[in-house]
């Protein structure tokens, strides 16, 4: 199997990171061996670039592309803040404004986060933002969303709306009624609603990376644990679902490895790449 894989694309949370949000020594070793065979390992996440870069650095793959915001922004980072855009799929400003206004009027307890390239913008500091900040080890920039929407130079790559599970369910139902054009939304956790441009998905990112590396999607191995990973697990030549993934995600994969607390990603690399 190993010889046919020319590129590895992996999710981060619930996949490479264990429940304590750590990378194990076993994973570092496995990634090092894969890299030594001239097979790039690329991180693909709903996270912002600056929330991915430290993980890439720990795995010594920081010079490889990063697929951020679920594929809305593919880039290379040269040192922490110098960005080289490879692919950018920003949201339409009208959609961003409409969603933000809707949430502020009708869902006042829900936290609004706007991501643009390497920036994380918020209007106020609430408990959800504090939790997200502690997970990603990042600090948001406080701004007035009105001024943000008027700034033509800012490309919005993602909206993240966080709240109680039932509030988020209500919001999803409401947004469906609005029939917004040019956006797609999905839950990355049961209380995390991610909104990106309609053409954005990890599946599209896999195709774009295949083009970037001049290989077939059949020569790619993907690893993931969540519903937003299903398209890339199906498209790749080899799709590996984590042992901690929901049943539906496992069904979409070629193989199922052990959980993220049992070095499942390292095992996947050893079993199917090396």
Q: Please tell me the distance from the alpha carbon of residue 237 to that of residue 218, in angstroms, as a whole number.
A: 4
Structure tokens at 36: 């030594």
| DSSP letter string, 170-234 | HHHHHHHHHT-TTEEEEEEETTEEEEEETT--HHHHHHHHHHHHT--GGGEEEEE-SGGGHHHHH
Q: Are 225 and 244 in contact (CB under 8 A)?
A: yes
Structure tokens at 200: 């954005």
> Which residues, 6 or more positions from 10, have their beta carbon under 8 angstroms from its beta carbon?
16, 41, 42, 43, 44, 222, 223, 224, 265
Out of 11, 13, 229, 263, which one is annotated catalytic? 11
11 is catalytic: yes
Q: Which helix (H) or strand (E) holds 32?
A: helix 25-36
Mind telling me the catalytic residues? 11
């Amino acid at each position: 199997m190993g010889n046919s894989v020319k590129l590895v694309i992996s999710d981060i949370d619930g996949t490479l990171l264990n429940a304590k949000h750590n990378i194990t020594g076993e994973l570092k070793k496995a990634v090092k061996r894969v890299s030594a065979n001239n097979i790039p390992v690329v991180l693909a996440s709903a996270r912002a670039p600056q929330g991915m870069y430290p993980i890439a650095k720990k795995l010594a793959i920081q010079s490889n592309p990063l697929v951020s915001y679920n594929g809305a922004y593919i880039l290379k980072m040269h040192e922490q803040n110098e960005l080289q855009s490879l692919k950018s799929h920003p949201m339409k400003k009208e959609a961003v404004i409409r969603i933000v206004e809707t949430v502020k009027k009708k869902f006042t307890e829900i936290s609004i986060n706007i991501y643009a390239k390497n920036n994380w913008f918020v209007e106020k500091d609430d408990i959800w933002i504090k939790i997200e900040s502690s997970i990603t080890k990042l600090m948001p920039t406080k701004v007035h969303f009105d001024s943000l929407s008027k700034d033509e130079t800012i490309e919005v790559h993602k909206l993240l709306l966080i709240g109680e599970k039932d509030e988020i369910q209500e919001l999803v139902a409401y947004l469906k009624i609005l029939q917004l054009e040019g956006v797609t939304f999905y839950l990355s956790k049961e209380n995390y609603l991610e909104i990106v441009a309609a053409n954005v998905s990890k599946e599209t990112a896999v195709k774009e990376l295949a083009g970037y590396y001049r290989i077939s999607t059949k020569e790619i191995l993907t690893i993931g644990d969540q519903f937003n990973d299903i398209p890339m697990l199906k498209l790749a030549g080899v799709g590996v679902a984590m042992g901690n993934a929901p049943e539906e995600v496992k069904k979409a994969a070629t193989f199922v490895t052990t959980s993220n607390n049992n070095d499942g990603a390292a095992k996947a690399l050893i079993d199917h790449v090396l």
